[in-house]
Amino acid sequence: MRKVTPVSKISVPAPRLDVVYETVCFEQRFVFSGLKRLLGAADHDKAGDRLAGLAVASELEREAARRILSGLTLREIYDTPLTDENGRVDEVMRANYDVDAESFNAHAALTVGEAKDFILSRDAADVSRLGRGLTGVMAAAIAKIMDVQELVYASSGLRVAAHARTTVGLPGKLSSRLQPNHPTDDPSALAALVYTGLSLGAGDALIGVNPALDTVENTTALLRLIDRLRRETGAPTQICVLSHIRTQLACLEKGAPVEILFQSLAGTERTLTEEFDCTVDLLDAAYATMAARGALGPDARQFMYFETGQGSEVSYGKHDGMDMATAEALCYGLARRYDPFMVNNVTGFIGPETHGADMEMILSNLQDHFMGKLMGLPMGMAPCYTLHARITTEGQQIATTLLTAAGANYFMDVYLGVDRMLAYFDTSAHDDQTLREIFAREPAPEFADWAIGRGIFLRDAQGRLRRGPNWGNPRIFDAAGRFDELRATLPAAYGWENAGPRPANAVARDTRANMALARQAISSELSPERLGDLHLRRIGTCAATKTAHLAHPDLGARLDADSRAALKPEGHAAQILISDGLSAEAIHHNIPRLLPALLGRLAEAGVSVGTPLLAPNGRVKLAEEVGDALQSELVISLIGERPGGDGMASRSMSAYLAFRVGDDAGAGRNTRPRYEYTVISNIYEQGAPPEAAALMIAEKVRQIRAHRAAGNRLESLLQGDR
């Protein structure tokens, strides 16, 4: 176990007043006020940085910023810690200063440009030694002045291996994280996806499920299910359920097989604590708990798993003036503290407000991979996208090809690239195997030996690993002959036929056609006429058009002036708010059945409800302005989710139950009330049908009102009741 220095004991230079950086380039003068502004100006053009007001006006301005940045020494950057909106060095930034002092002092006089040249010209041992002395800000500065080939070349020489049951990240290896997600956590469908992934040679890094329901009971059930499947197949790998870290620790306390502990990280303390409900102290305690009691025991050298990805800080409006790449690098400085088994980068997951098109996603992934490897992390990559961005499968494939050349430890396996629960698009086992064969890479050695024994792979006369007779045949794990029954509950799975390492053409055509249909739902407009004769009050947001709504999520989170003036306190306990979000089709297909059923359930429970509101071009956080205006204790936001890769999944919506905490949080503050959220997702015919969802929502309303809490705080209180 790595020794963790208490954050309060980490020495950080005192914050400075912003330095004004300026230069003349081809007779044009460029001025940048402060290091944050300089770092943002030096980066490639990206939607998130444009949204944050950090993008430059011209290529020449960008090169001017890079010229200045290239001339700063590592010591100058070290002596200029970036602060939050209150001028404070937050805990994430402070954790980044826990560097190898000897290494830093040996390289502190290098300029950023000289550090780049050092990385490109020295061997891996020297570069790794340099990386141990870098903060995330320094790593980001170097990445911003590198081109694509430099990012690939520099990363390719750095190997960062990690060991649990399998060893991931060895030279010549390419691993896979099998992700068998399902909109209702159906055990049969999960089993079908696990069998399929293993048969395709995927899962040697991890079998990890994102749960549809983040509770201790559900997470424990999923852990035991995946553990059973792993034991039955004999696959040498490790398991994880990607619930909140508090949920996983509660499961461990109850004896569940928590082998690898997961948490999403953010590059600012405000995002980490206020949006991810996590603190550095909690991470420290979790690391110590896993070291002492983790299910893998002392045989695993590493046991922590973090997900990151450019954009979460700016998406929540809590980036503290930093650009996306710099905030992302700060995540790596925090992750390094816990010597993780894996870091999974999901840049592209958020949507067009952070990465609008292919090139933005590709460049950010290459930067992230380089920065993480430079700072000593075992980087797995998940170049991904959503249908409301102008990112394509082809752009994703370009990214994965470059990242394989750069030496990424692993990619994801989401069957056919379609995540059935999170409604985004990632790499598949077919992609993983295609890249292995192009680049002569193999799975982790422990897994490869097992897969040879099952006929999934074989060794040819030259000792090369090849696809074996059972590659792509999930029925080898199905002794009871139930595979067809297992897959019956699995949406967006259009066949199991293969052509070489790729899905057969018929399977690919069905997959892509469903994606095309789902993408159409993004641009659909909310039509009150399609909702029948429901009695609704229409309100407006600051997103006047669909284009503005998709590109600027903050606009859809705010009422327009007329609506704000019209909404007054009404004295109701709950308010229902209906919005298209990212799929008007989801509202059209579900609300006519869901709303009457929900109103009936709430009436039976004695919950007073205001006339439901209809808000075209709305976002989840609009619930807070509505709650503030009406002074209702609870806003039930019924909103269309981003469409997934199945035509039916484009009709999926969620219920976000926003509890207006106020003085119940014990604050009595002068600031606006804080909100806690409980989410019920995947409401549609193949997930939770509308009538069943109404019952689930009403029960959660009862629990929230009884305990005066929502989200993780509610789940902790419910756990204490049992």
| pLDDT tens column, 333-370 | 999 999 999 999 999 999 999 999 999 999 999 999 99
| pLDDT tens column, 525-539 | 999 999 999 999 999
Cα dihedral 47, 50, 55, 58 sign: positive
Single out the residue of 661, 643, 672, 662 nearest to residue 709, CA to CA. 661
* Longest pairwise C-alpha distance within the chain: 78
Residue 667, pLDDT score: 38
Distances (CA, A) of 510 to 395, 494, 645: 20, 6, 10
Instruction: Say how far residue 117 (Cα) sits from the centre of its chain.
Output: 32
Whether this model's pTM surpasses 0.85: yes
Q: How far apart are CA 329 and CA 115, in angstroms?
A: 16
Name the pairing type of β-strands 653-660 and 675-683: antiparallel
Single out the residue of 246, 320, 324, 265 nearest to residue 90, CA to CA. 320
Q: Which CATH number applies to 528-721?
A: 3.40.50.11240
Name the pairing type of β-strands 206-209 and 342-345: unpaired
- Tokens standing for residue 415: 């069957």
| pLDDT tens column, 133-180 | 999 999 999 999 999 999 999 999 999 999 999 999 999 999 999 999
Q: How far apart are CA 339 and CA 302, in angstroms?
A: 6
In this prediction, residue 395 has a pLDDT band, given cuts at 50, 70 and 90, of very high
- Tokens standing for residue 472: 């792509």
**Is a pLDDT exceeding 90 seen at residue 208?**
yes
Contact yes or no for 179/382 (Cβ under 8 A): no
Helix or strand holding residue 519 (H, E): helix 505-522
Residue 722, pLDDT score: 64
Lowest mean pLDDT among 259-263, 615-619, 639-643: 639-643
Q: How far apart are CA 454 and CA 233, in angstroms?
A: 10
CATH class of this structure's domain 7-155: mainly alpha
Torsion angles phi and psi, residue 52, rounded to 5 = -85, 0
- Tokens standing for residue 218: 């559900």
Single out the residue of 400, 341, 65 nearest to residue 204, CA to CA. 341
Q: How far apart are CA 66 and CA 49, in angstroms?
A: 16
Count CB neighbours of 482 within 10 A: 14
| pLDDT tens column, 447-478 | 999 999 999 999 999 999 999 999 999 999 99
Instruction: Say how far residue 477 (Cα) sits from the centre of its chain.
Output: 31
Q: What is the mean pLDDT of the chain?
A: 95
Lowest mean pLDDT among 244-248, 603-607, 638-642: 638-642
Torsion angles phi and psi, residue 682, rounded to 5 = 55, 50
- Tokens standing for residue 246: 């508090």
Burial group, residue 9, by CB count within 10 angstroms (0-12, 13-18, 19+): exposed
Contact yes or no for 205/192 (Cβ under 8 A): no
In this prediction, residue 673 has a pLDDT band, given cuts at 50, 70 and 90, of low
Contact yes or no for 144/325 (Cβ under 8 A): yes
- Tokens standing for residue 213: 């329901």
Burial group, residue 26, by CB count within 10 angstroms (0-12, 13-18, 19+): exposed
Distances (CA, A) of 131 to 54, 251, 529, 584, 650: 27, 36, 59, 47, 44
Q: State the distance between the two ends of the chain, measured CA to CA, in whole angstroms.
A: 34
Helix or strand holding residue 635 (H, E): strand 634-640
Determine the average pLDDT of the residues in 84-97: 97
Distances (CA, A) of 674 to 98, 146, 552, 705: 33, 42, 23, 16
Q: How far apart are CA 351 and CA 266, in angstroms?
A: 17
Q: How far apart are CA 717 and CA 713, in angstroms?
A: 6
**Is a pLDDT exceeding 50 seen at residue 666?**
no
Q: Please compute Rg for the chain using Cα positions.
A: 25
Residue 524, pLDDT score: 84
Residue 671, pLDDT score: 41
| pLDDT tens column, 407-453 | 999 999 999 999 998 989 999 999 999 999 999 999 999 999 999 99
Contact yes or no for 197/410 (Cβ under 8 A): no
Q: Which CATH number applies to 158-515?
A: 3.20.20.70
Residue at token pair 């595979």: 483
Determine the average pLDDT of the residues in 222-241: 98
For the chain, what percent of residues have pLDDT higher than 70?
Answer: 98
**Is a pLDDT exceeding 70 seen at residue 669?**
no
Beta bridge partners of 33: 20
Determine the average pLDDT of the residues in 229-257: 97
**Is a pLDDT exceeding 70 seen at residue 649?**
no
> What are the sequence ranges of the domains in the chain?
7-155, 158-515, 528-721
Distances (CA, A) of 419 to 174, 178, 577, 584: 21, 11, 27, 20
Contact yes or no for 472/199 (Cβ under 8 A): yes
* Side chain identity, residue 35: L
| pLDDT tens column, 583-612 | 999 999 999 999 999 999 999 999 999 999
Count CB neighbours of 33 within 10 A: 12
Coil, helix or strand for 95?
A: helix
